[in-house]
Structure 1
Amino acid sequence: MYLGIDCGTQSTKVVILDAEKEEVIAQGHAPHSLISDAKGKREQNPEDWILALEQAYWQAVNKAAINPSSIRAIGVSGQQHGLVVLDAQGQVIRPAKLWCDTETAPQNAELLQALGGDDGSMQRLGLVVTTGYTLSKLAWMQQYHPSDFKRIAHLLLPHDFLNYWLTGQCMTEAGDASGTGYFDVRRRGWCPDVFELIPDASHLRNALPDVIDNQQMLGKVRPEVAKRLGLSADVWVSSGGGDNMMAAIGTGNVQEGRMTLSLGTSATLSAHLNTHYDGLHPSIAHFCSSTNGWLPLICTMNLTGVVEQMRQLLNLSITEFTDMAASAPIGASGLTLLPFLNGERVPNLPQAQGQLLGMTPLNLTSAHMSRAVFEGISYGLKYGLDCLLAAGLRPQSICVTGGGAKNTFWRQLLADLLRVEIVCPAAAEGAALGAAIQALWADHHRQGDPVNLTELTARLVALDESTRVVPCSEKGEAYHEAYQTYQHRLRFQFPELTL
């Protein structure tokens, strides 16, 4: 048995993978609370992740009706970019600033300018630092919490922190480290010289965790944690990785020609490359993968949360809201939502606010507003896919995971808009499954059996063919016209934006 853990923004998910049966036999889930304000603060207490992990773990174990001692190894997936800082005693110094925190936008703008803009950042790091990356969180902390900043002895990401709790080891891997802003994705190593851009930050060089290969085990579970979870004394923990990297594994996106789209609080669209490619659009985060390759990725920050807020505003169930959207015409009769309730990463508008444009007596209805929400949150994905296509990446289909993937109407909308087939994996929790598969992969390597990860995913990642939708060319043309209207209004509202 192999355990996969995914610590996301809203909750922690746990899956138990039976490697012999080649299937997930149980899963668990526990929510997180969020510390937020109108200024863009988005934080969580790392200790809450541990509590959620334990709750989700026991749910899964009880559902599977197994003895926890049968678990051989654990893999951890975590939301990317979050800043977890520990003192010399290994204690959390302050709440973790998350990927969706936009309070640090001014610090990121200053850091990007100091790096020499997009070109300078690309030359130093192999990607362009954006608001949300860990670097600007450190600059913000130095500015507003200088005494706490001086206490930093360990710099970790959310998945690193859970690995630390499990094993006592401060280590990381290249995939998750790619999104820090102080990691060179081309040579897969730290770039601590970037800390020179932050005052009084020389001590951070010694706070960086070691980077291990993805097929390596990080260490054994600590005895006190093993006892707490009912595990044997010989359970290993793999390197794990960021949630996007683990979702790629969990959807079979480990070779060129595959793409993964995750529809959750945020949306990420990622491909796989065997080698680093210097010609990618600056909006694409050219992350390393957690499979020793690369995972070019775009991220939009406003997705299911926008649907949920508008649904509540209209006092509709999700089924009613979706039916309303489906009843309105493509393009919502000219109604356009710029869905930037929490700023935006792609396109790069960290301090933007949402806008509803083109209102008329005809389209100011619940149905048109519902349609405008689904279309508005999908247009950023269209822009991101176009950036990936411009680099020569050609997906045969896109595997869609996350909570939003369950919505049949939305899947068809995406297929028509993006003009590519859409299909869901059989396992709903792609990132948690990916973490479990990586743990299995690393366990094989530990035992001297260097099994191929592509072969493992071919066996363990199944597609649910009943969810497959194909694009309609006629609807695609209608969406093309609506998308042109969206881009025109986006440029008008944000003339500084380069599309």
Structure 2
Amino acid sequence: MVVLDKDNMVLRPAKLWCDVTSAEEAEELSRVYGTTLVPSFTATKLLWLKRHEPDVFAQVATVLLPHNYINFWLTGEAVMEASDASGMGFLSENPRLWDWERVKAVDPRLCDCLPPLRSANEPAGRLQPDAAERLGLPAGIVVGPGGGDNAMAALGVGAVEEGTLVLSLGTSGTLFGPSMGLIEDPTGIICPFADATGAWLPLLCTINCAGVPEEVRQAHGLSHEEITELASREQPGCDGVTFLPFLGGERTPNWPHASGALLGLRVGSSRPGLVYRAALEGVTFLLAAGKERLRAHGLVPDELRVVGGGARNRLWRRIVADAFQLPLRFPLEPEAAALGGALQAAAIDRGQRVGKFVSSHGIALEEGATLPDPGVAGAYRAAMQRSRALGQALFGEGSPGKGAH
């Protein structure tokens, strides 16, 4: 969230999506809206700002997201597009317009602070002279609208038709895929985000992902290769050891109060490889819950395209394939979101629809696929069920951990 005053000056450091300090405001707005809103949504952060920094809130004239602010600097136009605006909590899913009643529930004054929404196939504007001079580019060229990182990654891996899901293993974890129809999940596990082509991008997002196994690796002072080799010798399900990976609280499940927990330890089971594998599995199980919810809503995947730094780990690839029981494909371009932004800008510059343009440009993938092993599916199902039950017992509604914050 980037807030500007009437002179278009930034009022405070941006509040990022992974900031969960607005947990109380999220609970309140969930009751008002009648749907689950997690603290990552901008609406909760604006309500937090109103209550905790009222002097700053009183000066807010424009509300943007980070990439909108960059586009504003480039073009002089304050606009938004639906894929990133989906994460604000203010977007009416159908049609894609601001839901003014939701906005007013935070503060009626914000109705004058939200910029207009552009369609998926419109530019953000044209490069203004000052920015052109600083960048060494011609003034007046088209500036693509950009979008949410996941929406851009979907373009960058060629996921513009139903059947392909994208799994991102980075600082956060995300599972998403294109849908021609709106998926509304009352549990809040799947968020009804828009994509960057004019369709939908139902999405699950976790705060904790690659940083969890990295925490284990650093604690043991081993290289990635050393600890991965040790972990590869351990069995799926980790002999009953469960790593609940909520080191930074969690968005999905909506447990901002949660913390990490290592359970099921016995004599000899604290060895580095086992704990590292348990961390990889714990993170993967959170994301696998999204596949089940999407399937329940009729979105049945036939493959996963995997991106992010974690995708380079061969053991993690194997765990994901076996836990999801889906074949994995890996784009050759590591910066999928950047490639997606470039494809979007090229399509708009040529006056073509973004989805059709991406479909006509084949995305380079690694040869072959990582195929699931059906023989370990049962072990992973049992481990996932154990992980969810333990998490619920420690941090779910009515648990001792629920009030620990």
Aligned to 2:178: 272
Length, aligned pairs only: 399
Per-residue CA deviation, residues 192-235 of structure 1 (Å, 9 max, x unaligned), is 2223333xx32211110110111111211121111111111232
- Does 1:175 find its partner at 2:83? yes
Q: How far apart are residue 477 of structure 1 and its match?
A: 2.0
Q: Which residue of 2 aligns with 1:344?
A: 250
Task: Note if contact 2:306-2:330 (Cα within 8 Å) is conserved in structure 1.
Answer: yes
Normalising by structure 1, we get a TM-score of: 0.77
Partner of residue 271, structure 2? 365
Q: Distance in 2 between matches of 1:100 and 1:273?
A: 25
Would you say the 8 A contact 2:344–2:354 is kept in 1?
A: no
The answer on 1:91 being equivalent to 2:12 is: no
Indicate yes or no: 2:358 matched with 1:456: yes
Q: Distance in 2 between the 1:177 and 1:189 partners?
A: 10
1:53-452 correspondence to structure 2 within 5 Å: 83-115=1-33, 120-121=34-35, 128-198=36-106, 201-278=107-184, 282-445=188-351, 450-451=352-353
Amino acid at match of 2:147: G
Deviation at 1:325, TM superposition (A): 1.5
Quick check: 2:197–2:354 contact (8 Å CA) kept in 1? Answer: no
Give the Cα separation in 2 of the matches to 1:308 and 1:136: 30
For residue 195 of structure 2, what is the amino acid of its counterpart? Answer: S
How large is the RMSD of aligned CA atoms in angstroms?
1.6
Q: What is the letter of the counterpart of residue 88 of structure 2?
A: T
When residues 279 and 142 of structure 1 are mapped into structure 2, their CA distance, relative to the original with a 3 A threshold, is closer
8 Å CA contact retained: 1:437, 1:457:
no
Aligned residue for 1:224, secondary structure, equals helix
Q: Is the 8 A contact 1:423 1:463 kept in 2?
A: yes
Identity of aligned residues (%): 39
Structure 1 unaligned spans of 5+: 1-82, 122-127
| CA deviation map 1:145-166 (0-9, x unaligned) | 1011011111001110111111
The DSSP-based 3-state class of the residue aligned with 1:482 is helix
Shift of 1:257: 1.2
Q: CA deviation at 1:495?
A: 4.2
Would the alpha carbon gap of residues 91 and 134 (structure 1) be closer, same or farther in structure 2, given more than 3 Å must change? same
Secondary structure (helix, strand or coil) at the match of 2:361 reads helix
- Show CA shifts across 1:117-154 (max 9, x none): xxx23xxxxxx321110011001111111011011111
Residue 383 (structure 2) pairs with residue 485 (structure 1): no
More strand by share: 1
Q: Distance in 1 between matches of 2:354 and 2:134?
A: 33
Q: What is the CA–CA distance in structure 1 between the aligned matches of 2:328 and 2:124, rounded to whole Å?
A: 35
CA distance 1:268–1:452, shift in 2 (3 Å) = closer
Does the 8 Å CA contact 1:250/1:457 hold for their aligned counterparts? no
> TM-score w.r.t. structure 2 length?
0.95
User: Hey, what's the Cα distance between the residues in 2 that align with 1:497 and 1:259?
Assistant: 34
Shift of 1:472: 0.3
Counterpart CA distance in 1 for 2:354 and 2:71 is 24
For 1:280 and 1:495, how far apart are their aligned partners in 2?
Answer: 17
Cα-to-partner distance string for 1:404-460 (whole Å, 9 max, x where unaligned): 111111111100000000111121111111011000111111xxxx35633534424
Question: Which whole-Å CA distance do the structure 1 matches of 2:41 and 2:396 have between them?
Answer: 25
Per-residue CA deviations over 1:227-259 (Å, capped at 9, x if unaligned) read 111111232111211101111111111111121
Kept in 1, the 8 Å contact 2:168–2:306? The answer is yes
- What is the CA–CA distance in structure 2 between the aligned matches of 1:279 and 1:367, rounded to whole Å? 37
Distance 2:230 2:398 in 1: 32
The AA in structure 1 aligned to 2:345 is A
**1:107, CA displacement in angstroms?**
1.1
